[in-house]
A and B are shown apart, each in its own frame.
Chain A
């Protein structure tokens, strides 16, 4: 580089540094404005819907969502409780997507995990801490097993993972119904004449301890399991050889194979691991919040986790805020439903809020492109006697 070149680039450097500071402030302001606008719109639409469909006042929606998710200590605890399983599923889904595998089946894996966990919790004997541990391990194993079917089909028969994992969701739901409807399997053992299609409640000592107590802030200790997993997964992905090879496989399978990464082992392993996370999530729900297996046990947590992972792209840390957001929506939505707003409306409200969260980044991306284009046009106009646009003509 000649001296003149260096002077030139330094000049460019300081100019862009000054621009960067102004840019950051502007960017933050724009982001705040956009999110406010997006959520205001979503809430306004929700309010309108509720007013039209029910007799409730528009204020109900705002306050109910807020009250149910964030206002009180208890609500905040509930939000965390709801976020916990979403976060665990989401971490697993991030692992699979890093390897370039799309696992659509966390919902089913979660159900099977919950089933195996229930079986262990109701039948295993020993000290409580050991049985809790075994229950969670059984959940993970169940989920891995269910994902393993898809892995086996993929690497022996070449069946597409998206299709197999999707279909296995439906089968898992059937398996749960079957298991909780058969007295010789997991159906409850009450003396009531009418046995419901659900398992026994797991014994008190097997339920994960809660911190704090109602009506104050209280939360299941399961949240610590999730937090620990975030740290472990993020660290392993960023720093371990396994994380390095997983990333290589996801981005370029051919180069990965040359370098010694086996698609079947590494990719299959990632699929199993994501299944294990979903299954563990089922075990955590069982021991932490739900306490018994029922049809519909999963409540869409698997799909929420999957969506969280999609939003977080391939970044395990980014799953945390997204899962928290979903947790708040679930908690707020539950409270809204309890105020008498029909469930389908609650679902619509939740969907609108998810869209509101997705909108700003998309919009900013579009705006950036438009801005670049405008700059280019302005540059042309400054020097051109008769400016014209070709893009418009095309």
Chain B
């Protein structure tokens, strides 16, 4: 190669060294284009990120945000376009090369390895000698600094989804990147946690002249954390705004290309007034005390492999046609409850009844056969098969809909898929592409479409709007309400209190693997819920 080789890392500012925003932008993407077959994921995208700024990247599901950032990280090779870092045009061959010029990314889907400990995961992929004690200390230091507390010696398999997300972020921050890409980093963090994170991040970014790109569907997070926002639609940039000069409504409008109803937008933002949503739920008709119980969990005990009590005498009833919201701090048994209702764990004691019949817990498919649909917390875990097609993923556990006793009917499968793709606005070039090639939010839509379309008796939804864009949240919450009106018993599990309050007829609170109490929506005020979340029974 005859061209001069410049080490991009050489002009990185050292840690702690103050550096004012320079006229040369940290990152400049020029005319980036990427096609996947017939899909144009990125269409001549220009994006400039200055030093010292947090730059929001906004767009509907499948707009091309993750693809654009993976190009910057060297994971995807663009068809055309140019990357300029600190004024130097560069070719980012792979993530190692990206690391060398100080680019690091927290991915939308987890990349941690469950079998390893936290510090092992954090140092994974690094060369040279490893000092376990130093690595563990660094994990703790970063945790303390950014408010991302996590035990470096814990095995990732034993962590909650929120803790795993923290590990992902710590892993990225430890590299001390100059340019930090965060792809929906807070989807399962609590509001307080993400606020902490961005407060510190903002200071670091400004003091040290770094740059951050933040992808998020939470508009309030974008409004609070970013300096400027670039909005993409169908692979192209449609708008660039300064955060201070905009508001949630216009962001949503730019992004979706139409007016989004204020109500859902408000619910998505957590701004909805309690009185209003209580009134609305009341108007929709509380199914009342006498409605039949469709899901009854009685005194459920589950122990983890390490002997920890995951469910500790949990009992709850979900009635026909109601939405029971389950609030609680993450890691108090919600995930295990989801697994129990997906037939993935066995009970040590207690039992589960669906529509009055006992279900053999832990027997493969028993819950699904009894009519329990589950939208799991981590969609890649039990929610879908990434290497099978979208059409196949739309029927996973109710093959009966598209098959005879022995054979699957491909025509019916295609029709079934086409109908759901249209109804749920799933963005995919065809039903036959692998699930893996869909954007994160569209994968979530596939899950929702499948579970809602199989006319279940009980719908268990764990963080169902995780990764959905504002428009889709509107649609999904309507769908969940409609399901309840049709007589489905809905158990809505969410760590976002606003979501629970906005949708539920009754609110239960989980703590330490046990239900602390259940309140009708009208009596569920933040104070009482807060106390129960802290472990004080009603």
Contacts and interface: CB of A to CB of B under 8 A. Distances in A.
Q: Do A and B come together as binding partners?
A: yes
Interface of A: 1, 5, 8-9, 12-13, 16, 239-245, 247-248, 251-252, 254-263, 372-373, 375-377, 379-381, 383-384, 386-394
15 contacts: A9-B38, A239-B410, A241-B406, A241-B407, A244-B399, A251-B385, A255-B385, A256-B385, A258-B343, A259-B368, A372-B77, A376-B78, A379-B78, A387-B3, A394-B93
A383 B8 contact: no
Contacts of B93: 373, 389-391, 394
Contacts of B396: 248, 255, 259
B480 to A, nearest CB: 20
Given A245-B399, A255-B396, A386-B89, 18 more contacts: A8-B43, A16-B35, A240-B406, A241-B407, A248-B388, A252-B382, A259-B396, A260-B343, A263-B364, A380-B83, A386-B3, A388-B6, A388-B89, A389-B3, A389-B93, A392-B1, A392-B5, A394-B100
Interface string B350-381: 00000000000001111111000010000001
B81 interface: yes
B387 interface: yes
B226 interface: no
Interface in B396-453: 396-397, 399, 403, 405-408, 410
Contacts of A375: 77, 79
B231 to A, nearest CB: 15
A394 B342 CA distance: 46
Interface string B1-13: 1011111110000
Contacts of B43: 5, 8
A26 to B, nearest CB: 18
A292 B419 CA distance: 59
Given A259-B397, A389-B1, A390-B8, A240 B408 contact: yes
Interface in B9-38: 9, 30, 35, 38
Given A258-B397, A390-B100, A376 B364 contact: no
A76 B455 CA distance: 58
B453 to A, nearest CB: 15
Nearest to B387: A251
A331 B8 CA distance: 58
A238 B33 CA distance: 36
B63 interface: no
Top 6 closest pairs, chain A to chain B, by CB = A260-B365, A391-B93, A259-B397, A384-B89, A394-B100, A372-B77
Contact of B5 (A16, A251, A380, A388): A388
Most B CB atoms within 10 A — which of A244, A245, A263, A390? A390
A392 B92 CA distance: 10
B195 interface: no
Contacts of A5: 43, 234, 236
Contacts of A383: 30, 82, 89
B136 interface: no
A256 B365 CA distance: 8
Nearest to A382: B82
B40 interface: yes
Nearest to A4: B236
Contacts of A255: 381-385, 396
Contacts of B363: 262
Given A258-B343, A380-B82, A252 B386 contact: yes
Contacts of A241: 399, 403, 405-408
Contact of B40 (A12, A242, A376, A381): A12
B94 interface: yes
Contact of A239 (B38, B100, B408): B408
Nearest to B38: A13
Given A258-B344, A376-B78, A393 B6 contact: yes
A245 B406 CA distance: 12
A50 to B, nearest CB: 43
Interface string B232-248: 00101000000000000
B5 A240 contact: no
A377 B407 CA distance: 50
A388 B365 contact: no
Contacts of A245: 399
A255 B374 CA distance: 11
Nearest to A15: B35
Contacts of A12: 35, 40
Most B CB atoms within 10 A — which of A247, A255, A257? A255
Contacts of B99: 394
A8 B344 CA distance: 48
B254 to A, nearest CB: 14
B486 interface: no
Contacts of B236: 5
B92 A257 contact: no
B64 to A, nearest CB: 13
B5 A258 contact: no
